[in-house]
């Protein structure tokens, strides 16, 4: 009788225990979101209440120039990425030409090259003392720069081209995915009405793909706003360059926060415009969107045009820079392979690996919490936790340094008053600040990937696990994580590579005498020593190729070919 009562009580307690455990996930998600949002709030508060308000001075002097240059850069990059991304996505998806299967994934290769690396390479090739101008002077007998005209690579136009060459894959990736999901019957109806392939693209395909293209373009513009290495090397005065100058050279953190707030305003405008552009659009999957695609057959000259359209971005955005870096790395290998290179490589591997693991853990926590509590509040928390991805690295660095420095100063004050010793910079002067910034910046990558994958797992799996007496945590470990293994690996690789390339936040937050491959490349290139920066730059490029291949395979597998 006693055993029966005990069993009944245990059974009655199980729903209560499960409810308490579920609430713990919700509380954990709320605390995590609050920590992630903290840098954004820190930037805004510091901008509103700076120790020294230089906002009027910025408005009267440098801010208009920063704003104008930034807008010009963003417009130019948008035009380049839209032109290349849409043209190549349409060609590899709907046109049959030699090398199409190769270009399907090769178009993503420039993704692996950071914009600042490609800027260093082309400056070395196209400068007055570079091989291109030197060869031209030898061929035509020119003696100096006054004898001929050559475009200046270190300019706003040069920076626009460099950034556009490595960011167009954002538009290509999302546009191609949207093209693959469209119904073949739409193309057939358009062609039956007498429209050419080009007319079909502009009248039918592009309007349907507009939401995906808008998302890709917004990512391009946010990455353009984030860029520092290219604009700094080319002396282009954008908002990011102004933030560095105000903080590092003028020593005014409040003024830097005010510029950072201006950059955040840009981000808010971009996100708002992207959502506004598709506010009235509601699309549903067509019944025949899984049928094989019937590609357009073209004449030989048009096939050659398609080959050229796809080959040129790959050649100038990846192949030429990779060959140049490889040549320099080979020639200067003995100088480059030293203890500094090995130490900085290990630093990059440590930071990238730790950040990837941290973002995965937090991303799984947030995504699974939403699965347990799919409420309006939880949806808002997921969006707030993704704010970091939209924040430029320099802005994020300002937001991270403020609360961490305040914590360090408070602890130091307590230690001095209590024990008469200084605790120093515990968090703001350590690798913790970098990992925290990376986690906030790239959390959206892991959380979004895991959330999308979890939505594909039927809720009956959770019910079956819970009926066997498993808690939500046990269900996650025993049921969901094994099913999410591929998604987790892909998300970790993407974060790993993004951290390897990240420059602005690393430059600001790295501890004293602590370098990564990105800052190592930046220092040598800034000193006009591209040859010595070639090997670490090549490592960064090679590391980015793996997730590119994975992404291409995942997209290509969504649709069969006819």
Please give the Cα distance from 310 to 248 (Å, whole number).
42
pLDDT per position as a tens digit, 550-562: 766 666 555 544 4
The answer to whether residue 553 is domain-embedded is: no
Asked whether the beta carbons of 518 and 114 are under 8 A apart, the reply is yes
In sequence order, what are the residues at sequence separation of 6 or more whose Cβ sits closer than 8 angstroms to the Cβ of residue 456?
none
The answer to whether residue 337 is domain-embedded is: no
The answer to whether residue 143 is domain-embedded is: yes
pLDDT per position as a tens digit, 495-514: 888 898 898 999 889 988 89
Helix (H, G, I), strand (E, B) or coil at 96: coil
The answer to whether residue 384 is domain-embedded is: yes
Q: Are 240 and 370 part of one and the same domain?
A: no
Q: Is 19's pLDDT higher than 80?
A: no
Query: How many structural domains comprise the chain?
Result: 2
pLDDT confidence band for 446 (50 / 70 / 90):
confident
- pLDDT: which is higher, 188 or 535: 535
pLDDT per position as a tens digit, 56-103: 888 888 899 999 999 999 999 999 999 999 999 988 988 888 998 899
The answer to whether residue 7 is domain-embedded is: no
The token pair at 256 is 């830097």
Q: What angle do CA 251, 239, 383 make, to 5 degrees?
A: 105
Domain-terminating residue out of 493, 511, 529: 511
The token pair at 141 is 């007998």
The answer to whether residue 123 is domain-embedded is: yes
Task: Mark out the alpha helices in 283-374 (DSSP H runs).
Answer: 300-314, 320-331, 333-336, 339-372
Q: b/e map of 195-234 (b: 16 or more CB within 10 Å)?
A: bebeebbeebbbebbbbbbbbbbbbbbbbbbbbbbbbbbb
Q: Are 289 and 385 part of one and the same domain?
A: no
Q: Are 28 and 56 part of one and the same domain?
A: no
Domain-terminating residue out of 297, 317, 337: 317
Q: What is the residue range of 237's domain?
A: 51-317
Q: Are 278 and 427 part of one and the same domain?
A: no
The answer to whether residue 425 is domain-embedded is: yes
Please give the Cα distance from 335 to 476 (Å, whole number).
50
pLDDT per position as a tens digit, 518-541: 999 988 888 778 888 889 999 998
Q: Which of 150-159, 182-191, 382-391 has the highest mean pLDDT?
A: 150-159
The pLDDT > 90 percentage for the chain reads: 23
The answer to whether residue 542 is domain-embedded is: no
Q: Are 306 and 353 part of one and the same domain?
A: no
Q: Are 309 and 376 part of one and the same domain?
A: no
Per-residue model confidence (pLDDT) at position 57:
85
Per-residue model confidence (pLDDT) at position 16:
45
Q: Is 321's pLDDT higher than 70?
A: yes
Asked whether the beta carbons of 507 and 360 are under 8 A apart, the reply is no
- pLDDT: which is higher, 427 or 317: 317
Per-residue model confidence (pLDDT) at position 139:
92
Q: What is the CATH number of the domain that holds 487?
A: 1.10.3720.10
Q: Are 203 and 103 part of one and the same domain?
A: yes
Q: Are 40 and 79 part of one and the same domain?
A: no
Q: What angle do CA 106, 107, 111 make, to 5 degrees?
A: 100
Q: Are 39 and 97 part of one and the same domain?
A: no
What integer best gives the mean pLDDT of the chain? 83
Q: Is 194's pLDDT higher than 70?
A: no
Q: Is 155's pLDDT higher than 70?
A: yes
Q: Which residues pair with 95 in a beta bridge?
A: 296
Domain-terminating residue out of 492, 511, 530: 511
Q: Are 288 and 388 part of one and the same domain?
A: no
The token pair at 254 is 């409040």
Asked whether the beta carbons of 70 and 269 are under 8 A apart, the reply is no
Q: Are 33 and 86 part of one and the same domain?
A: no
Q: Are 40 and 56 part of one and the same domain?
A: no
Q: Is 184's pLDDT higher than 70?
A: no
Please give the Cα distance from 457 to 484 (Å, whole number).
9
């Amino acid at each position: 009788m006693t055993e029966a009562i005990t069993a009944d009580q245990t059974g009655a307690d199980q729903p209560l225990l499960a409810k308490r455990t579920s609430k713990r996930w919700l509380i954990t998600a709320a605390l995590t979101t609050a920590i992630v949002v903290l840098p954004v709030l820190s930037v805004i508060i510091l901008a509103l209440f700076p120790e020294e308000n230089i906002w009027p001075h910025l408005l009267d002097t440098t801010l208009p120039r920063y704003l104008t240059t930034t807008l010009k850069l963003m417009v130019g990059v948008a035009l380049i990425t839209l032109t290349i991304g849409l043209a190549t996505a349409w060609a590899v998806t709907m046109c049959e030409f030699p090398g199409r299967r190769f270009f399907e994934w090769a178009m993503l290769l420039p993704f692996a090259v950071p914009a600042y690396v490609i800027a260093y390479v082309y400056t070395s090739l196209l400068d007055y003392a570079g091989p291109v101008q030197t060869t031209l002077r030898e061929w035509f007998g020119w003696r100096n720069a006054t004898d001929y005209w050559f475009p200046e690579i270190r300019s706003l136009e040069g920076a626009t081209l460099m950034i556009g060459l490595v960011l167009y894959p954002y538009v290509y990736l999302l546009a191609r995915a949207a093209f693959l999901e469209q119904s073949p019957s739409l193309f057939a109806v358009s062609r039956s009405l007498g429209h050419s392939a080009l007319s079909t693209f502009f009248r039918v395909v592009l309007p349907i793909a507009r939401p995906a293209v808008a998302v890709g373009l917004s990512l391009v513009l946010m990455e353009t706003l984030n860029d520092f290495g290219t604009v700094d090397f080319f002396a282009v005065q954008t908002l990011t360059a102004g933030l560095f100058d105000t903080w590092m050279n003028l020593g005014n953190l409040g003024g830097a926060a005010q510029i950072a707030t201006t950059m955040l305003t840009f981000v808010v405008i971009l996100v708002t415009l992207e959502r506004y552009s598709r506010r009235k659009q509601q699309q549903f999957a067509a019944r025949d969107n899984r049928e094989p695609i019937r590609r357009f057959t073209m004449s030989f000259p048009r096939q050659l045009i398609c080959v050229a359209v796809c080959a040129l971005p790959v050649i100038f955005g990846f192949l030429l820079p990779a060959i140049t870096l490889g040549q320099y790395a080979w020639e200067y290998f003995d100088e480059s392979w030293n203890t500094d290179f090995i130490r900085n490589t290990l630093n990059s591997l440590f930071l990238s690996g730790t950040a990837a693991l941290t973002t995965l853990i937090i991303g799984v926590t947030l995504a699974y919490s939403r699965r347990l509590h799919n409420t309006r509040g939880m949806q808002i928390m997921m969006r707030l936790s993704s704010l970091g991805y939209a924040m430029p690295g320099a802005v994020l660095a300002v937001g991270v340094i403020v609360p961490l420095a305040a914590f360090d100063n408070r602890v130091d004050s307590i230690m001095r008053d209590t024990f008469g010793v200084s605790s120093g910079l515990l968090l703001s002067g350590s690798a913790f600040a970098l990992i925290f910034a990376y986690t906030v910046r790239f959390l959206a990558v892991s959380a979004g990937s895991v959330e999308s994958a979890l939505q594909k797992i039927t809720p009956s799996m959770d019910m079956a696990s819970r009926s066997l007496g498993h808690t939500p945590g046990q269900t996650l470990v025993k049921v969901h994580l094994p099913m999410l293994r591929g998604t987790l690996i892909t998300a970790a690789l993407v974060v790993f590579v993004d951290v390897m390339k990240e420059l602005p936040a690393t430059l600001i937050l790295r501890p004293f005498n602590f370098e990564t491959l990105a800052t190592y490349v930046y220092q040598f290139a800034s000193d006009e020593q591209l040859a010595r920066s070639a090997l670490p730059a090549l490592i960064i490029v090679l590391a980015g190729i793996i997730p590119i291949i994975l992404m291409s395979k995942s997209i290509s597998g969504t649709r069969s070919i006819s």
